[in-house]
Amino acid sequence: MVEILVADDHEVMRQGMKGLLEMEQEWHVCAQASDGREAVALAARVSPNVAVLDLSMPELNGLEATRQIMKVSPSTKVLIFTVHDSEHLAREVLESGAHGYVLKTDAATHLVSAVKAVEAGSHYVSARLSLARVDSSRTRSGSRAQRSTLTEREREITQLLAEGKSNWCAATILGISVKTVETHRAKIMHKLGLESIVELVHYAVRNQIVAP
C-alpha cells in the first residue's frame, strides 16, 4: 500500500486530489493538511510514502515544509503541486529535497504519473518546465541569494509577519517568546536590507514565500 499525504489550503483541491489518487489500486490518502505546519506534523506522525504539497500554503509554505519533512520523515518523497510555472522555483524546490514539481494545470494527466515516479525514487518535473533545463540552470537572482542567508527560523518568521501576524501571534505559533521573535525580525530586516514591514511583504510576495 502506498500511503500519501496531501496538503493544500483549499479543501476542494484536497478532495479532488484524494479522489484522483485513490483511483489507483493500493494507493491510500492517509492524511490531509490545510497548511504547511500541519503537513510537517502529520508527516512526522504517519511517515507517508509520498507527500503532495501545495507551494503557497499559509503559516509554512511548501518549500519550507519540504525542508522540515525531510528532517522528521526522511523516507517520505515530496512532490510539490503548484500554479507557479517557474523553472527557477522548480530548481529551488528540488534543491530543498523534493523529488517533483507538478503544475496544477497538468493535474488530470500528470499527477498520478508524478506520484508513481517520485514514489519509485525518480525525479519528476512538468514537461512544460523541462527537468533538463531545471537541472542545468545556474541562474541566481539577488533576492534568491539574500533568501538563502536566512536561517530556517528566520524564513518561518518572515512568512508569518508577511501574512500579517503580530509578533505575539508568531511567537505563539512557533512556541517561542515575543522577545525572540523581535530579535529575529530585526536580523531579518538587516540581512535583507529592508526598512519596513511593507517592504518585507513585497519581498515575500516576489519570492513566493506568501501568495499575492
Q: Do 129 and 157 belong to one domain?
A: no
- Find the radius of gyration of the CA atoms of the chain: 17
What's the domain range around 176? 142-206
pLDDT band for position 135 (50/70/90)?
Answer: low
Query: Does pLDDT of 41 surpass 90?
Result: yes
The angle, 0 to 180 degrees and rounded to 10, between the axes of the packed helices 167-174 and 152-162 is 130
* Exposed e or buried b per residue across 145-169, where buried means at least 16 C-beta atoms within 10 angstroms of its C-beta: eebeebeeebbbbbbbbbbebebee
Q: Do 22 and 118 belong to one domain?
A: yes
53: domain CATH number is 3.40.50.2300
Mean pLDDT of the 141-160 span = 74
Query: Does pLDDT of 127 surpass 80?
Result: no
Q: Do 161 and 118 belong to one domain?
A: no
pTM: predicted TM-score of the whole model, two decimal places: 0.83
Q: Which residue's entry shows cell 535583507?
A: 192
Of 117, 136, 155, the domain-final residue: 136
At 200 the pLDDT is: 93
How many domains is the chain built from? 2
Rounded Cα–Cα distance for residues 192 and 109 (Å): 40
Q: Which of 12-16, 33-37, 95-99, 107-111 has the lowest mean pLDDT?
A: 107-111
User: Is the residue at 211 inside a domain?
Assistant: no
Q: Do 58 and 112 belong to one domain?
A: yes
Q: Do 168 and 76 belong to one domain?
A: no
Q: Do 192 and 103 belong to one domain?
A: no
Mean pLDDT of the 173-183 span = 95
At 115 the pLDDT is: 95
Q: Do 102 and 167 belong to one domain?
A: no
Share of the chain above pLDDT 70, in %: 90
Of 116, 136, 156, the domain-final residue: 136
User: Is the residue at 91 inside a domain?
Assistant: yes
- DSSP secondary structure code for residue 76 in this structure: P
- What burial class does residue 11 get, using C-beta atoms within 10 Å of its C-beta: 0-12 exposed, 13-18 middle, 19+ buried? exposed
Amino acid in the structure at residue 46:
V
182: domain CATH number is 1.10.10.10
Helix, strand or coil for residue 55? coil
Q: Do 24 and 125 belong to one domain?
A: yes
